[in-house]
A = this chain, B = another copy of it.
């Protein structure tokens, strides 16, 4: 039994490859094991929580990747340009890896690691919103609005909910216009 030298990171990598190729439904320990050249139970040496933990790790990895992409897009930009770039980057990531993005919601109840990754993601958004002079609770509401729009658009478009012929890129530009206008004229109660 030649030792394969598996690590948890590699297991997650195989899981992601499977998801990319065949969708979140195809993420099974048996399939991951086959791909890693190992028997199914051996995976428990690296991912002790079994399938549930593997899904959790996938969600953490994907959230982190997405946060990185958003941070990269925001770098060196400000104001409307930053908002537009981050929104485009969000959708671009989801479009490049639709199944991967679709696997995000499959995560079980959030835990510390996932919360940390999500916090990084939210941090980028909050930073981008800072130039609009939003502070305290209003910044939170604005960030939630941003995330809702970004996630909704990503989820619906990768899920095939937008059937008509109209160009998705144009829809995105309209959304950017609406969002940036809304942020500039944010309701101050």
A187 on the B face (CB < 8 A):
yes
With A150-B152, A152-B152 already in contact, the answer to whether A145 and B174 are too (CB < 8 A) is: yes
Contact status A166-B148, CB under 8 Å:
no
Cβ of A155: which chain B residues have Cβ within 8 Å of it? 105, 151-152, 155
Cβ of A142: which chain B residues have Cβ within 8 Å of it? 174
Considering only CB atoms, which chain B residue lies closest to A115 in the complex?
Answer: B163
Contact with B along A159-182 (1 / 0, CB 8 A): 111111010001100110111011
Contact with B along A109-126 (1 / 0, CB 8 A): 110000100100000000
With A149-B148, A181-B182 already in contact, the answer to whether A159 and B115 are too (CB < 8 A) is: no
- Tell me how many chains of this kind the complex includes: 2
A31 on the B face (CB < 8 A):
no
A141 on the B face (CB < 8 A):
yes
A38 on the B face (CB < 8 A):
no
Cβ of A137: which chain B residues have Cβ within 8 Å of it? 166, 170
**In angstroms, how far is the closest chain B Cβ from the Cβ of A154?**
8
A102 on the B face (CB < 8 A):
yes
In the docked arrangement, what's the CA distance between A161 and B125, Å?
14
A37 on the B face (CB < 8 A):
no
Known: A109-B160, A174-B187. 12 other contacts (CB 8 A): A118-B161, A138-B174, A141-B171, A142-B174, A144-B166, A147-B161, A148-B148, A148-B149, A149-B152, A150-B152, A152-B155, A181-B181
